[in-house]
Amino acid sequence: MNKNFLLTTINILFFTVCSFAGGIKGSIKNTKGEQLSYASIVVKGSSKGTMANDEGKYELALEKGIHVIIFQYLSHKNLEKTVVVDNDYTTLDVVLEEQSVALNEVKFSAKAEDPAYTIMRKTISMARFKILELNTYTARTYVKGTAQVKEVSGLVKMLAGKKIEQETGIKIGQVYVIESINDINFKQPSTIKEKVVSARNNLPKKLQDQGANFITVARTNFYSSKAFGDLISPLSPYALAYYKFSYEGDFRENGLTINKIRVTPKSQGENVFSGIINIIEDSWYIHSLDLKFSDDNSQNSIKILYSPFNDVWMPVSYNFRTDFDAFGVGGFFNYVTNVRNYAISLNEKYHQRPVVIDEKIDKAEATSLKGEKVNAKTALQQKQITRKQLEKFLKESQKEDKKERKAKGDDVALARSYNIEIDTLYKKRSADFWNQERQVPLTDFEIKGYAQADSITKVNAAQYKKDSIKNLPVFKIPHLLFGNTYHYGKRDELYGFYPRSLTYTSPIMELGNANTVDGYYLQGSLKYETREKRTKRTSLYSDLRYAFGRKQFNWNLGYFYLKDYHSFEIKTGRYIQQFNDSNPMSSMINTLYTMLAKENYMKLYEKDFINLEYRNRFSQVLTGAFTVGYSKNRELQNLPDFKSWINRSEREFLPNQPDNVENKTANFVNPELLITDIELTIRPFAKKGEFNGREYTINRGNPIFKVKSTNGLFSEGNFSRLQGSYEQIFEIEKLGDLHVLANYGGYLKTPIYFSDYRHFNGNQTILRSFKFDAFRNLEYYLHSTKGNYFEVFAANDFQKFLLTQITPLRLYGLKESIFANYLNVPNQNFNYLEVGYGISGIGKIFGLEVVGNFVNGQYGATALRIKFNR
């Protein structure tokens, strides 16, 4: 007998028996008769509970007996009900009263600081303790995502509506639901294991085939510096620089005083919240929160309710909603999580409640405690402790923890670890299992959405079956014209890839491209790729290119192999390339400038080559790469009869040989060359993350150093170049991110041929390069050098600067930046500086930059550049 069939049968029988258990169900409303969506229901004295659905309806299976049920909702009084449960479900409809908040007027005076600030300072000082006090915990969660594309503008329908529907299967107006029952296992310092026990959804088959079969638990923590991505938490150590706080009163609940604090951004923008956060007096736990934030295309809200387990307040219900309107597409996405069955293990060293003294308010008490020494083992046992002492205690304590973990053999370099597992039966759980485990009734429109999807599935079932025969992809005639990717084998449900895929890029997509040496050309490619989990990948690829003007085929063939943390690639062929192998000029832009403006900026040569490259990530700190290549190179000349689309009689095409200050000979291309590259990348302060056993590097905000040695051998044009680089992104409080990159290098042996010079990423078009290390208004090759060089790139993206001081513009999505780029070439006595200002987010698509440059201290020119959002 099939093992999976037997297990499924046992599950069905087991959960069928369980389904006869009784429980409670009903609705939750306020005194106005309004439904309370996603209210929390907890069984007192246990870790069992559930939440109401969007319509305020709930259902909770319980064992026979007497139970005390606690009903909770944001800004409403808790309600306790005692119920007797038998074999059947008892209907229990409840009404929650709005929480009356008492404003303690004694706390206020004309000159006094708002009491919210001392509450928040104390809460912030204890936030890290709330993270560290949990040694481990496990829980079962119910996670649901509901989405609907409500409307699409007529223009979008006309231009892309059919294509979107074909590629995703999404129907306008259809409600889509995805649900998961997941088990969570947490262990300090930051190890999370998540198991998808069961999942179901009504998503289009095409999305399911792409891996949208389950949904995971939100891993956001408001006790951290950042919550929900890059948003600044109101409990961040830097929160006072981003937020204003105001005290709106307090209320009592089960003998506790809960402070209601309004959170207001000092500057509205994408990285801040606004709303209410409720803080428990003396213990400084979050009781609940109701926060909002906005980005370029959506309005978002987050609501979280916490309940006590083992004297620790843990989140029991989480609701995130986003309403979006982007590029003519409007709709919503709603995400809910209900957490139950908590099992918690505490670290008593951090699970304590000292009397926190705010030095700014309680100056006398703080002064009296100033001389006391902080002992990491006894500090929290003190009756009183200042915020500064708490901070010192944390530092010393965490150092001791690290030493203890290291002595046990733990990997102390591991900063974050997340592992996810999918149960083999996750798609096969019975309806009884879901009735038992979900306990959050589906809403009427979710039920309707499931029914609609079932109807669509039945209609398309024959086609799905036909398309999946032998799991072969379907070839269609348009693929010849526009290209396509064909997938083979069963898609990996966890990582989202297919074991084999074939990608074809059509030469038709290059139709119309041209340059002065090839004339018009076509190029296409094929790529065959195999994958095994996330640790092994191979690719076999080829490009074929035909230049009509030269009547010449060019080609290359390559093989790539990746396993774990090292890769190998070999590539050979006859192809053309730009003198600057960083490719500062795109084919499309070159075609437009060549054919419309008669400006042929792209400079090319041809080579027969074979290259081998090996890369290895030795650790999160050190990565190495070694490349060796042999090539025979040839110059290319402009076609004598090549013409642009627009006849610009006042201009002539420039030769294909670049103009350069240092190169006064005709030695442009090194005819035969054996070249080696050795590059070491060092991230001295990097930390290690892990996803399903595979390591990755965490280095945000830390420096990156690179050393690169390039040597040309095996010809009369031997050369040797050495370069050092420094790169770092600084997160500057309230000002945004400052990105800096500096390169310094030079030649130990001087090259003879121009192709071996050090070239810089210039730009002479109105469109700016997406590369960070690219100048805005520097000639492509005029200042390439065979000597020393020094270049620096710096750009600061602001949260609020000039135009973004205007709140509506900032909320619309406009962003501002300033930048400065510098180049020094001693051989040419050339010092180049460009400074500029940019604004992006215009029409959600593009931006503008104004840049001025200076040569040897003298003003040169001012240029306008257009950039597109990536």
**Separation CA 405–CA 398 (nearest Å):** 10
Q: Mapped to the 3 state alphabet, what secondary structure does 684-742 carry? A: CCCEEEEECCEEEEECCCCCEEEEEEEEEECCCCCEEEEEEEEEEEEEECCCEEEEEEE
**Separation CA 751–CA 140 (nearest Å):** 66
- The enclosing H or E element of 566 equals strand 566-578
Both structure tokens of 772: 């960070």
Cβ–Cβ under 8 Å, residues 514 and 595: yes
Query: Is 630's pLDDT higher than 60?
Result: yes
SS3 80: strand
pLDDT of 521 reads: 95
Cβ–Cβ under 8 Å, residues 366 and 162: no
Q: Mean pLDDT across the stretch 679-705?
A: 92
Both structure tokens of 243: 């937020």
Torsion-angle region of 228 (φ positive above 0: left; ψ -120 to 50: alpha; else: beta): left
Cβ–Cβ under 8 Å, residues 350 and 126: no
pLDDT of 811 reads: 67
**Separation CA 624–CA 615 (nearest Å):** 6
Residue 476 neighbours by CB under 8 Å, 6+ apart: 484
Residue 620 neighbours by CB under 8 Å, 6+ apart: 413, 683, 686, 687, 688, 695, 697, 698, 699
SS3 801: coil
- CA count, 13 A, side-chain hemisphere, 219: 16
pLDDT of 704 reads: 97
Query: Is 398's pLDDT higher than 60?
Result: yes
Query: Is 742's pLDDT higher than 80?
Result: yes
Query: Is 856's pLDDT higher than 70?
Result: yes
pLDDT digits (tens, 9 = 90+) for 199-223: 888 887 777 766 678 888 888 899 9
Chain centroid to CA 731: how far? 17
Which of 163-167, 340-344, 461-465, 509-513 is the least confident region?
Answer: 461-465
**Separation CA 503–CA 456 (nearest Å):** 30
Residue 180, CA distances (Å) to 216, 315, 409 in order: 7, 18, 36
* Cα dihedral 857, 863, 864, 868 in deg (nearest 10): -70
pLDDT digits (tens, 9 = 90+) for 473-526: 777 888 888 899 998 888 887 777 889 999 999 998 888 899 999 999 999 999
Q: At 783, is the pLDDT very low, low, confident or very high (cuts 50, 70, 90)?
A: very high
pLDDT of 768 reads: 87
Using only C-alpha atoms, what is the Rg of the chain?
32
Cβ–Cβ under 8 Å, residues 333 and 100: no
Query: Is 116's pLDDT higher than 90?
Result: yes
Instruction: State the sign of the Cα–Cα–Cα–Cα dihedral 659, 663, 668, 669.
Output: negative
Q: Which CATH superfamily is domain 20-100 in?
A: Carboxypeptidase-like, regulatory domain (2.60.40.1120)
- Among 148, 199, 153, residue whose Cα is nearest residue 170: 148
pTM exceeding the 0.75 threshold for the entire prediction? yes
**Separation CA 749–CA 718 (nearest Å):** 7
pLDDT digits (tens, 9 = 90+) for 831-849: 999 999 999 888 777 899 9
Both structure tokens of 811: 């909320």
pLDDT of 5 reads: 36
Both structure tokens of 393: 């205690």
Parts of the chain belonging to CATH 2.60.40.1120? 20-100
Looking at domain 565-868, its CATH architecture is Beta Barrel (2.40)
Mean pLDDT of the chain: 86
pLDDT of 396 reads: 85
- What length does the chain have? 870
Q: Mean pLDDT across the stretch 594-617?
A: 96
Chain centroid to CA 809: how far? 24
Neighbours of 552 (CB within 10 A): 16
Both structure tokens of 515: 């340059």
Query: Is 165's pLDDT higher than 80?
Result: no
- Beta strands 256-265; 274-280: pairing state: antiparallel
Parts of the chain belonging to CATH 2.40.160? 565-868
Query: Is 552's pLDDT higher than 90?
Result: yes
- The enclosing H or E element of 530 equals strand 519-532
